[in-house]
Amino acid sequence: MICFVLWREFRLSIAELKAYFPDSECLFAEREVAIFDKIDREEVKAGFVKLGWTVKAFEILKEIDSEKEFNKHAIDFISAKAWKYEWKFTFALAQYWTQKDLFTYGIQIKKEARKTTETNIRFVNKNSSNINAAVFKKELWADWSELNLLWVWERFFIWETIAYQDVDEYSKRDYSKERDMQVWMLPPKLAQMMINISWKETKWIYDPFCGLWTILIESILWEKKEIYWSDLNEDMVKASSKNIALYLDKSITFQVFKQDAGKIEGVGFLKDKSRIAIVTEWYLGSIMTRWHVTEDKILEERRKLARIYDWFFYWLQRLNFKWKIVISFPFWQFKWKYLYFEEIYSILKKYGFAPLKLLPDESEYKETKTWSLLYHRPNQQVWREIFCLQSSK
């Protein structure tokens, strides 16, 4: 069994994990962690860099009768690990759904483990809180181990951490881009999640509203071999080409071009290629602040966006496009209520594009009533509604 620590929008995390590991079984899912079976340890370690919505992963070591046994087993485990290293070994402790004095545990474990080896053993927790990814990268990157005490199913389990997300690499990709403050920026983690939702059947990726490159770069890092992108704005096409240059290699085929996505019938390869997914975040409307947003302005944005999307899905229907479309639509928070882009639901129904289920059947958590999942950043007025669509005609 592998346990994954989830991000804030935990439903997105669960959906991504199930899509990335399609043969897995979700045994347990809560807001903080999800436990999956039928996943190989090495598969998780190798693929973790491609998971945008998962903080870390740990593998089960054993079940224990009570938390009092944790120290004994931890001492044995750390001693055995440290013995293999001549100079220094570092470890950390973490807990989920228990409230133990991890710091005292760690000091005791270090003291007892030192009796069995000459290796210098370091304990990196500064208090009883779990360490974060930044501390992991600084302190535990090389010769390390982290043990996790988890209370689940009315039982205690000990787990060993096998992967952590590299948060610095995401920040580097997010903030190194050439930017346009009038254009919405799709976060790299969200782009990864959207690509992963489409991945099982996908050989090629097309983003018809490339903006400033996020889906393109994540597709390249995902090792997709053919990538296509377009935008109506010539400046966006040039900026994307510039942004993406550092990530390309000779094994990747790509094509960038100016194209009005409302006239997508002109994109010939959508008719010719099989197993090509459209993964995109279109225009989310005007950037609004809480001081300037009104319900009338939101309604005006919805009508304007509906006209654009109507043409897009009309031509996809005419092209008989049968593959997956993973797309983000806007909705708005206004005076403690949510105003959804209801026009898009009618458009999808009119042209026969049905939402696909995103969460595993065994999960007690469900999608929205429109079969979407939601994403937001704190203090933003415009939120995102994520769909995976496919033609039902």
- Quick check: 219 pLDDT over 70? yes
In this structure, the number of other CB atoms found within 10 A of the CB of residue 378 comes to 5
Q: What share of the chain in percent tops pLDDT 90?
A: 52
Contact (CB, 8 A) for 19 and 199: yes
Question: DSSP letter string over 349-367?
Answer: HHHTEEEPP-S-TT-S---
Q: Are strands 276-281 and 325-334 parallel, antiparallel or unpaired?
A: parallel
- Pair of tokens at residue 243: 């942004």
Q: What's the length of the chain? A: 393
- 343: enclosing H helix or E strand: helix 342-351
- Residue 180 pLDDT level (bands cut at 50, 70, 90): very low
What pLDDT shows up at residue 269?
82
Cα-Cα end-to-end distance for the chain: 39
What pLDDT shows up at residue 249?
62
Average pLDDT over residues 182-203: 80
CA distance 375 to 331: 10
Q: Are strands 120-123 and 144-152 parallel, antiparallel or unpaired?
A: unpaired
- Residue 250 pLDDT level (bands cut at 50, 70, 90): low
Tell me which residue has tokens 């990268």.
Answer: 137
Mean pLDDT estimate for the chain = 87
pLDDT digits (tens, 9 = 90+) for 353-383: 999 999 998 888 999 999 999 998 877 788 9
CB-side exposure of 173: number of CA atoms within 13 Å?
24
CA distance 347 to 377: 27
CB-side exposure of 278: number of CA atoms within 13 Å?
26
What pLDDT shows up at residue 182?
45
335: left (phi over 0), alpha (psi -120 to 50) or beta: left
- Quick check: 212 pLDDT over 80? no
Q: Which of 234, 232, 321 is nearest to 278 (CA)?
A: 321
What pLDDT shows up at residue 392?
87
- Which residues have C-beta within 8 Å of that of residue 284, sequence separation ≥ 6? 184, 328, 330, 382, 384
- Quick check: 74 pLDDT over 60? yes
pLDDT digits (tens, 9 = 90+) for 315-356: 999 999 999 999 999 999 888 889 999 999 999 999 999 999
304: left (phi over 0), alpha (psi -120 to 50) or beta: alpha
What pLDDT shows up at residue 380?
79
Domains of the chain: 2-51+53-164 (3.30.2130), 169-391 (3.40.50.150)
Residue 338: helix, strand or coil by DSSP? strand
- Is pLDDT larger for residue 200 or for residue 381? 381
